[in-house]
């Protein structure tokens, strides 16, 4: 993990400003509702499920949470980051769970 107090996160020749991390939005989504491309830009619509009470029942509404637009190079970088994050997750799932020690009074 990187040190949050470090002056900047270096990824190759690019330095990411630490002042931008607090202002960046957090985008949650349950899936990509649609995708395409236009004039060389990749377009992906991200959506999340909302549970809406209807009497004693529940209705699921799907709402757009973000309109992702990027270059092909940025889409490839995002795919690589997702692949690596999923590999990390998978590796963590294969490790045996740590046993919680019994507390003795």
Pairing between β-strand 31-38 and β-strand 8-11 as defined by DSSP bridges: unpaired
| 64 bridge partner residues | 47
- What is the per-residue pLDDT for 82? 96
Q: How far is Cα 29 from Cα 26, in angstroms, rounded to an integer?
A: 10
pLDDT score of 64 = 96
What CA–CA distance (Å, rounded) separates 73 from 16?
18
With beta carbons less than 8 A apart as the criterion, state whether 78 and 70 touch: yes
The conformation of residue 105, written as its DSSP 8-state character, comes to -
The per-residue pLDDT string of the chain (105 residues; one tens digit each, 9 = 90 and over) reads 455 555 554 456 778 777 777 788 899 999 999 999 999 999 999 999 999 999 999 999 999 999 999 999 999 999 999 999 999 999 888 877 677 777 765
CB 88 within 8 A of CB 94: no
pLDDT at 6: 52
Task: Please state the domain extents for the chain.
Answer: 27-93
Q: Is the pTM of this model over 0.85?
A: no
């Amino acid at each position: 993990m990187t040190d949050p107090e470090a002056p900047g996160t270096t990824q190759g020749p690019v330095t990411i400003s630490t002042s931008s991390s607090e202002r960046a939005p957090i985008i949650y989504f349950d899936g990509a509702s649609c995708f395409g491309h236009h004039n060389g830009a990749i377009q992906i619509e991200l959506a999340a499920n909302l549970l809406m009470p209807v009497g004693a029942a529940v209705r699921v509404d799907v709402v757009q949470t973000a309109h992702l637009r990027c270059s092909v190079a940025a889409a490839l970088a995002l795919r690589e980051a997702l692949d690596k994050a999923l590999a990390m997750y998978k590796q963590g799932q294969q490790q045996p769970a740590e046993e919680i020690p019994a507390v003795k009074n």
